[in-house]
Amino acid sequence: MNKEKSPRKPTLFEVAAHAGVSEITASRALRGSNVVTPETLQKVQEAATSLGYLRNRLAGALAGGPSNQVGVILPSLSNIVFPDVLKGLEDRLEHAGFHPVLGISNYDPEQEEQLIRNLLSWRPAGLVIAPSGMTENSRTMLAGADLPVVEIMDIDTDPIDMAVGMSHRGAGLAMARHLIARGYRRFAYVGHDIARDNRATARLDGFTAGLNEAGLKMVGCVTLVEPSSVALGRRGLNMLLGSDCARPDLVYFSNDDMAVGGVFHCMAVGISLPDQLAIAGFNGLDIGQSLPTPLTTTASHRARIGETAAACVLKRLSGEETPRMTDVGFTLIAGGTS
Amino acid sequence: MNKEKSPRKPTLFEVAAHAGVSEITASRALRGSNVVTPETLQKVQEAATSLGYLRNRLAGALAGGPSNQVGVILPSLSNIVFPDVLKGLEDRLEHAGFHPVLGISNYDPEQEEQLIRNLLSWRPAGLVIAPSGMTENSRTMLAGADLPVVEIMDIDTDPIDMAVGMSHRGAGLAMARHLIARGYRRFAYVGHDIARDNRATARLDGFTAGLNEAGLKMVGCVTLVEPSSVALGRRGLNMLLGSDCARPDLVYFSNDDMAVGGVFHCMAVGISLPDQLAIAGFNGLDIGQSLPTPLTTTASHRARIGETAAACVLKRLSGEETPRMTDVGFTLIAGGTS
DNA sequence: TTGAAAGCGCTAACAT
DNA sequence: ATGTTAGCGCTTTCAA
């Protein structure tokens, strides 16, 4: 396969020759311009099909035509959160015939900078990024690149161009207030590698602020320097309860994966929820809501963030006005684990 | 932002002029050719930095330079399976400075064909695809495109160029044999939208074949025409047990998401696992293994499939020999739910 | 080690 | 409605 030296792919020139028109007419026809007559359109289409012509967008974009590529930089694909965002993005982009060109930064500003440089070198139509501590260079490149740039997930900081997301600090704060109103007083926290995930940090900040408002503070805290997972949450809760801190009445987890792990730990060792211990998470994943007792959590609208970000790029490209900030909000879910 | 008419980005020509060399020398320097002297290299790099030069790979690729884009077509991003594959792919590609350009086919052959056409029009260096019933046109385009093409997930059919995956039929068969050896006899199945997911179908085929070997057949079967999810598995098991089929002693689910839903249903209604009912899934997800009772399942090596596929593309590009078929295998996990 | 020439395949701009 | 001209910014020969 692919061994015989290919007889060079037909170009627009060949197609035009076969159809008996000029190159530019063939180009217009194939791109669906409405100035070509139906007859020429058909001739060109037939020529293209019979020759097996395949458009070369490299040349098209270089010559000043539009690109349909959108750079997308995400910190990770390890849990379902960013795939959900990507799904929303892809969905909306695909409807417009656009494609995401993907880069994963691993929460590393240096890698992120490298990715930005790399992706921009393809002259994409737009860029969507879930920032991981952008460097000065990163900001400069994006600000100077003259394309729509959407920073996603968080709206707690000022964006270079546009931002779509929610306030993670606000989510933590709302959850704290909700739980305090329900009567909980002795709070503990189980988190994952928080140094790199500043959105989790923002939630914890907000949560802590909520406790402070009521004159409370954490009675215990376990942070494990690993990526979040169900297994890690299970282990984390086990550590927390084994430590000599005051027995908490509610444990706030850095996200739902972790919280589900906490629920499983309780099931395994016979702690009854929510009487003996209450649990809250963040994200509103399917898995948490399908538990025998649905998880108390905050639903983040991940797919909607992706869709909205894509919409912002597309709108800007079509010359429409776009909001600088879009808050997709969050939804507190008062489940059965609290 | 982005409003002032941009003063046109500096091109290689500007960089070369600043460095006092020719365009081609600047090009060679910036691409890390080892024929330029260290002095010229430095001059060029300085010029590039001071001008804020950003390489244009559109032009580079059009002029015959290499592309570092790899088309990736997946059927879905809705559960963690394909993101895991994508993660493996991205990881390996990124190390080589390559980027996936993504398309989601939604298990639809027509969309898939459109995506192939679209992605190929960017003249990527390679293409990785989890096929969803490729059309004749799709096969023709891929066979004629003269680039490395890797079909992933399944190795039960003959690939156009290369294939990386596992035998889903074999996985179903192995699970059936294992369970029969453990003494189970009354099997039922709960599945999701199987018409579109032919890998799930292949597993079921294999599983059924295993039953046949032992002179057994399914005592019950529920198939719900929706994407798989924990919630759906829970619902599916509820329906199965409410139907008038013979009471099964083991339920095989179309995947782990579904199976975990089944486990949750049992927990909720007080069916004890595995005494009253046994459950088996497929994929070996973290969530299943973190259950109070770890799930019996077959681990698929998803990230490894992605990594291997990327490696195949990269190898082929560097002129090395590549295997036509790579079987990454699967691992049966005898958990506590059976 | 460096450079000059020639194009990659297409599209915008300006005719006609 | 169609065509002509002139590049887009780079890299591959081929030469010096």
Between chain A and chain B, how many beta carbons pairs sit less than 8 Å apart?
158
What's the rounded Cα separation, in Å, for the pair B163 and B157? 9
A86 close to B77: Cβ distance less than 8 angstroms: yes
Contacts of A337 in chain B (CB under 8 A): none
Query: Does strand C come within 7 Å of the CB of A27?
Result: yes
**Span(s) in chain A for CATH 3.40.50.2300:** 69-166+302-328, 168-299
- Interchain contact, A57 vs B6, CB within 8 Å: no
Q: What mean pLDDT, rounded, does chain B reach?
A: 94
- Interchain contact, B100 vs A101, CB within 8 Å: yes
**Helix H segments across B128-184?**
136-144, 168-181
Question: If you measure CA to C1', which residue is closest to nucleotide D2?
Answer: A25
Contacts of B91 in chain A (CB under 8 A): 104
The nucleotide lying nearest B28 (C-alpha to C1') is: D11
Mutate to test the interface with B, among A102, A256, A273, A325 (most CBs of B within 10 A): A102
- Among B4-8, B40-44, B182-186, B290-294, the range scoring the smallest mean pLDDT is B4-8
pLDDT tier, A67 (very low <50, low <70, confident <90, very high otherwise): very high
3-state SS assignment for residue B261: helix
- Interchain contact, A292 vs B99, CB within 8 Å: no
pLDDT at A46: 95
pLDDT digits (tens, 9 = 90+) for B48-91: 999 999 999 999 999 999 999 999 999 999 889 999 999 999 99
Q: Which fold has domain A168-299?
A: Rossmann fold (3.40.50)
Does residue B246 surpass a pLDDT of 80? Answer: no
pLDDT at B7: 63
> Model-level pTM?
0.93
Query: Does strand D come within 7 Å of the CB of A23?
Result: yes
Does residue A44 surpass a pLDDT of 50? Answer: yes
The CATH architecture of the domain made up of B12-55 is Orthogonal Bundle (1.10)
Mean pLDDT of B152-174: 96
CA of A327 to C1' of C15 (A): 50
pLDDT tier, B15 (very low <50, low <70, confident <90, very high otherwise): very high
Contacts of A140 in chain B (CB under 8 A): 52
Mean pLDDT of B225-243: 94
pLDDT at A2: 35
Q: Which residue has the tokens 């948490």?
A: A288
**Span(s) in chain A for CATH 1.10.260.40:** 12-55
Query: Does strand C come within 7 Å of the CB of B64?
Result: yes
CA of B20 to C1' of D3 (A): 41
Contacts of B50 in chain A (CB under 8 A): none
CATH class assigned to A69-166+302-328: alpha beta
pLDDT digits (tens, 9 = 90+) for A141-176: 999 999 999 999 999 889 999 999 999 999 999 999
Query: Does strand C come within 7 Å of the CB of A60?
Result: yes
pLDDT tier, A5 (very low <50, low <70, confident <90, very high otherwise): very low
pLDDT above 70 covers a percentage of chain B that reads 98
CA of B317 to C1' of D13 (A): 21
- Interchain contact, B286 vs A231, CB within 8 Å: yes
Tell which residue, A147, A69, A59, A73, has the closest CA to residue A105: A73
pLDDT at A193: 85
pLDDT digits (tens, 9 = 90+) for A190-244: 999 877 788 999 999 999 999 999 999 999 999 999 999 999 999 999 999 998 8
Min distance A68 CA to chain B CA atoms (Å): 10
- Interchain contact, B84 vs A77, CB within 8 Å: yes
What's the rounded Cα separation, in Å, for the pair B57 and A306? 27
Mean pLDDT of B10-14: 94
